[in-house]
A and B are shown apart, each in its own frame.
Chain A
Amino acid sequence: MLIAAGIGTVVTPPGDTLLAILHALSPTMFPAPSGPRTSLIVLDFRLPRILLAILTGTCLAVAGTVMQGLLRNPLVSPFTLGLSSAASFGAAFAIVIGPGLLVPFWAFGDNAFIILCAFLSGWLSMMLVYSISKLRGTTQATLILAGVVIGYIFSAGVLALKYLTNNEKLRELVVWLMGGMWGANWNAVIMLIPITLISFVILEWKAWDLNALVAGDDIAKNVGIDVNRLRLLGLLTSTFAASACLAFTGIIGFIGLMAPHICRMIIGGDYRYLIPCAGLMGALILLVSDTVARTIMSPVEIPVGIIMYVVGGFFFLFLILRARGKGLF
């Protein structure tokens, strides 16, 4: 985190970076860093962005882990189920339509309104997927295909919004939809910290129940779990966490797929440990990817969404090829 905060177009030494953070926390105990603009660069630009990457990586990875457990499908993640596209549609809708038609709601704060729209839209997509998963004869592949189709439908909605909106907003939307941490600011971070923490605590609290669900619905019911309530609560919480982050970052694909699988290979399938481990892994993947995205072609930066599509796409392919005849989960 310290390294990520120090590198960029302007490189600041780790000592100065640390001093800038400590000085902001306690100005009397720690002196200001030597560089004239170090505090400004670190505190106002890089730190919110780093924290947004960590929070988004954590939320998407935890959401992916829980969704895989709830739907007992190893290829499920917020991205593959169409949730990312749906949440992005909701957020884009709020950005384009928000200040116009919905002035009374907009007054509550633009960030809150964007999150609300992203969540409602994401929740609609998850309920569609959940209903499909309940149909008789639904296979793991059907669920993923349904997710892809739902994702396309919401992407079409985003395209329609892009087509209808004016030039200034169009560019804003296009860049935002590529997925990136440009939306980072302290307001976004302050909003996402409690959402991430509350979601994490709820999902971790249900870790034992998720463990039981591994053995099938009947076994889970037999050990006293209300399976339907667990699925609804788990999907609601993970959708809320993922949608809130996606509202600020645009579509970031595959983290929710990669992080749980990497962690399962390392620590096994016990959700009590898998949820926090996947959260940390997701944070690490997105922080490293975002740092690479903004430094690899410095001073020009590329959207982190592009990096995630490439890395995640190959990982997805690896999972499918590795699982031939053996099963993924």
Chain B
Amino acid sequence: MELVVDKLTKNYGDTRALDCVSFSLCPGNVLALVGPNGSGKSTLIKIVATFFPKTSGSVLLDGNDVFSIDPAELARYIGYVPQFFSYTKYSTVFEMVLLGRRPHIKWTVTKEELERVQDALDALDIGHLAGKYVDELSGGERQKVFIARAIAQEPGLFLLDEPTASLDIRHQSEVMEVIQHFAQKKRSAVLIAVHDLNLALRYADSVLMLHEGRTAGYGHPENVLTPEQIERVFGIESEVVTTRNGKFILPLRAKKKTAGI
């Protein structure tokens, strides 16, 4: 699905969390949202998911205003993975992923639904955990369960709010590869908030850099994630290193003003 966000603004009381943010995202592409803590990444994702109302601007999904789409219908278009999630000690991995099929299920769970759940589990290589309680899993495995839940939903647009935050380096790469593969194979659009700039550089088709709710850069990752931009927005000196495996951002030192805090 195609997502077009135009001049999106969000106020919390007197505080402006997002200020005239615009971007577009085509089917099959991954757009990484980067920015320091409190720059508005989660707010942006939650507005697109219609969890928060907007103050002004528009959010169009295939040309339709997301806020005018019936929630039950929207659930078939948007899959969301939160930064923090909850579960009970009685929730099994399979049941949790099955929740992703809720928009497609009336009451009875058909064989087809079960197969879709199994496919989502297999895509993240956690099929062997299906019968386990979520409570028994490691942080990384749990994160994969929640991503599998969104994959089982088979949405046209994925919204992922820092899905790699609690994962080790191997799981981070695994999850990003699955997301990238899924976007290309299913032609889904992916909007993902990440803290690791190297993940954005490596896996995203485009990057939106936010700073204090405003767009600080938008475009191809190599054009946005430059040492100058990173220093201006994150307050850290860095270097972009080119290797035979691609480009990498090497953080060097925090700027004196930031370091002194």
Given contacts A223-B99, A223-B100, contact A214 B74 (CB under 8 A): no
Contact stretch, chosen from A23-31, A127-135, A263-271, A306-314: A263-271
B175 nearest CB across to chain A (Å): 18
Q: Is the CB of A214 within 8 A of B88?
A: yes
Within 8 Å CB of B74, what residues of A? Answer: 224
Q: Is the CB of B102 within 8 A of A223?
A: yes
Interface residues of B in 39-86 (CB under 8 A from A): 46, 49-51, 71-76, 78-80, 82, 84-86
Q: Is the CB of B92 within 8 A of A268?
A: yes
Given contacts A208-B105, A222-B75, A223-B102, contact A269 B91 (CB under 8 A): yes
Interface size on B, residues (CB 8 A): 35
Is A44 engaged at the interface, CB distance under 8 Å to the other chain? Answer: no
Is A211 engaged at the interface, CB distance under 8 Å to the other chain? Answer: yes
Q: Is the CB of A224 within 8 A of B71?
A: yes
Given contacts A221-B71, A223-B100, A226-B71, contact A215 B90 (CB under 8 A): no
Total residue contacts A-B, CB cutoff 8 A: 79
Is B95 engaged at the interface, CB distance under 8 Å to the other chain? Answer: yes
Residue of B with least CB distance to A326: B89
Residue of A with least CB distance to B50: A221
Q: Is the CB of A223 within 8 A of B90?
A: no
Residue of A with least CB distance to B73: A224
Within 8 Å CB of B50, what residues of A? Answer: 221
Interface residues of A in 83-140 (CB under 8 A from B): none
B195 nearest CB across to chain A (Å): 20
Is A72 engaged at the interface, CB distance under 8 Å to the other chain? Answer: yes
Q: Is the CB of B88 within 8 A of A223?
A: no
Is B12 engaged at the interface, CB distance under 8 Å to the other chain? Answer: no
Cα of A326 to Cα of B90 in the assembled complex, Å: 12
Q: Is the CB of B89 within 8 A of A329?
A: yes
Is A81 engaged at the interface, CB distance under 8 Å to the other chain? Answer: no
Cα of A328 to Cα of B49 in the assembled complex, Å: 31
Q: A294-327 interface mask toward B, CB cutoff 8 Å, 1 = contact, 0 = none? A: 0000000000000000000000000000000011
Cα of A72 to Cα of B49 in the assembled complex, Å: 22
Count class of interface residues, chain A: 20 to 34
Residue of B with least CB distance to A226: B71
A192 nearest CB across to chain B (Å): 27
Is A219 engaged at the interface, CB distance under 8 Å to the other chain? Answer: yes
Of the candidates B88, B92, B96, the one whose C-beta lies within 8 Å of that of A329 is B88
A73 nearest CB across to chain B (Å): 11
Of the candidates A215, A224, A270, the one whose C-beta lies within 8 Å of that of B149 is A215
Is A218 engaged at the interface, CB distance under 8 Å to the other chain? Answer: yes
Q: Is the CB of B85 within 8 A of A215?
A: yes
Q: Is the CB of B99 within 8 A of A225?
A: no
Cα of A37 to Cα of B91 in the assembled complex, Å: 53
Within 8 Å CB of B96, what residues of A? Answer: 215
Given contacts A222-B78, A223-B103, A224-B102, contact A215 B71 (CB under 8 A): no
Of the candidates A212, A218, A268, the one whose C-beta lies within 8 Å of that of B99 is A212
A231 nearest CB across to chain B (Å): 15
Within 8 Å CB of B103, what residues of A? Answer: 223-224
29 contacts between A and B (CB under 8 A): A208-B107, A211-B99, A214-B88, A214-B91, A215-B87, A215-B99, A216-B85, A216-B86, A218-B51, A218-B80, A218-B82, A219-B85, A219-B149, A221-B51, A221-B71, A222-B75, A222-B78, A222-B79, A222-B153, A223-B100, A224-B103, A264-B90, A268-B92, A269-B88, A269-B90, A269-B91, A327-B135, A328-B89, A329-B89
Q: Which residues of A contact B (CB under 8 A)?
A: 72, 208, 211-212, 214-216, 218-219, 221-226, 264, 268-270, 326-329
Known pairs A214-B87, A219-B80, A222-B79; list 19 more (Cβ under 8 Å). Answer: A211-B102, A212-B102, A214-B88, A214-B91, A215-B85, A215-B149, A216-B82, A216-B84, A218-B46, A218-B82, A221-B50, A222-B80, A223-B99, A223-B102, A224-B75, A268-B95, A269-B90, A269-B95, A327-B135
